[in-house]
């Protein structure tokens, strides 16, 4: 069995995530405390106690989801004796999850990843306020059909999540127009999402510009496990190239379908989702029907996973 370790993005957060890990394992406590110290804020209190509205603010959700994912990873390594290099052929993450993947692969420290994601979240929130936008999920159309729809409507493909599930991004007007066109073309659903900006679109250019200098100055090492980039949908091991791709990712499309297909083509037969929720686990079968997927996000699921390694 050949595995890849993958990390969820925004939308997977829930109040209370990781609390059982925090209570059970010193390695998990260390991660949450390191994030709190890096941000000079008790983010762990928001994670464990809420309120949900505060946790969901993008500048909180991004480092919070990374903290949850890295708590899982550190328990794997330090408490259960699982070698990431010996167990996983690749790491990858959806949008902000790519930062979690880089942290897991040793390219960034937990503290530096938390600081980067806080800056990224703040920059994206500011860009969303200055250039208001929307996002919508289009279910049941092919990627070619969705590309035609967004071209006609004047918006953009944000996330290619799985076969038949694509998220689009743009101004409120263009996204609503795209939803109308998509529905007329036979989409099963065309649903505007409750988000605060047009993420992964050119409306985020100011956030990308703000993050470029921050990313270039970040103390990133070459990852010890290849990281599959959202933008290239191929494995990357060079820190300088990864920084460029992270810059492009803010305005570019998350090519998750192609990323999973790439890993499968390289021999991966099982994805292990480390962190909150089961979104990526649920998408896997829609992308590659014979690929296995398991979510690891609690004391119980971690202990069950450790028996399979």
- Looking at residue 140, its pLDDT comes to 97
Please state the separation of Cα 190 from the chain's center in Å: 22
Domains by residue range for the chain, with CATH: 3-129+202-306 (3.40.366.10), 133-192 (3.30.70.250)
pTM equals 0.96
Residues 12, 35: Cα–Cα separation, whole Å:
19
The pLDDT of residue 195: 82
- Residue 237 confidence (pLDDT) above 90: yes
Gap between the terminal Cα atoms of the chain: 9
The answer to whether residue 194 scores a pLDDT higher than 90 is no
Q: Is 127 in contact with 207 (CB distance < 8 Å)?
A: yes
Q: Choose, from 100, 200, 229, 259, the residue flagged as catalytic.
A: 200
Copy the structure tokens of residue 257: 């379908």
Q: Are 38 and 111 in contact (CB under 8 A)?
A: yes
Return all residues near 73 (Cβ < 8 A) that are at least 6 apart: 5, 84, 103, 104, 274
What is the Cα–Cα distance from 283 to 296, expressed in whole angstroms?
15
Query: pLDDT tens across 48-87, in order?
Result: 999 999 999 999 999 999 999 999 999 999 999 999 999 9
* Residue among 12, 44, 69, 95 flagged as catalytic: 95
Answer for the pair 24, 74: CB distance below 8 angstroms, yes or no. no
Q: How many CB atoms lie within 10 A of CB 238?
A: 11
Q: How far apart are CA 122 and CA 58, in angstroms?
A: 7
Q: Give catalytic status of residue 95 as yes or no.
A: yes
Residue 1 pLDDT class (50, 70, 90 cuts) = confident
Q: Which pLDDT value is given to residue 137?
A: 96
pLDDT tens per residue across span 120-148:
999 999 999 999 999 999 999 999 999 99
Q: Where are the beta strands (DSSP E) in the chain?
A: 3-7, 88-93, 134-139, 156-162, 165-170, 189-192, 227-228, 235-236, 270-274, 292-296
The model's pLDDT over 270-298, given as tens digits with 9 standing for 90+, comes to: 999 999 999 999 999 999 999 999 999 99
């Amino acid at each position: 069995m050949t595995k890849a370790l993958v990390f969820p993005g925004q939308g997977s957060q829930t109040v209370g995530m990781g609390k059982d890990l925090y209570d059970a394992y010193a390695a998990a406590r260390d991660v949450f405390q390191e994030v709190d110290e890096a941000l000079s804020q008790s983010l762990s209190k928001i994670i464990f106690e809420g309120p949900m509205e505060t946790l969901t603010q993008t500048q909180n959700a991004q480092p919070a989801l990374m903290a949850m994912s890295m708590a899982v990873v550190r328990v794997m390594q330090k408490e259960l004796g699982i070698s990431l290099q010996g167990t996983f052929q690749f790491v990858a993450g959806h949008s902000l999850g790519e930062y979690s993947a880089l942290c897991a692969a040793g390219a960034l420290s937990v503290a530096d990843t938390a600081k980067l994601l806080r800056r990224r979240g703040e920059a994206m929130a500011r860009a969303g306020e200055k250039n208001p936008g929307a996002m919508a999920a289009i279910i049941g159309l092919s990627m070619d059909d969705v590309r035609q729809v967004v071209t006609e409507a004047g918006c953009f493909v944000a996330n290619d999540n799985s076969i038949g599930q694509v998220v689009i991004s743009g101004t409120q007007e263009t996204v609503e127009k795209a939803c109308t066109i998509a529905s007329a073309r036979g989409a099963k659903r065309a649903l505007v999402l409750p988000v605060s900006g047009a993420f992964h679109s050119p409306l985020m250019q100011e956030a990308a510009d703000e993050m470029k200098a921050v990313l270039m100055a970040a103390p990133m090492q070459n990852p010890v496990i290849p990281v599959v980039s959202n933008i290239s949908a191929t494995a990357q091991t060079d820190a300088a190239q990864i920084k460029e791709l992270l810059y492009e990712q803010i305005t570019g499309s998350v090519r998750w379908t192609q990323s999973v297909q790439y890993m499968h083509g390289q021999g991966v037969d099982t994805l292990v989702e480390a962190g909150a929720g089961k979104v990526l686990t649920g998408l896997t079968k829609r992308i590659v029907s014979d690929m296995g997927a398991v979510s690891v996000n609690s004391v119980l699921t971690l202990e069950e996973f450790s028996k399979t390694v």
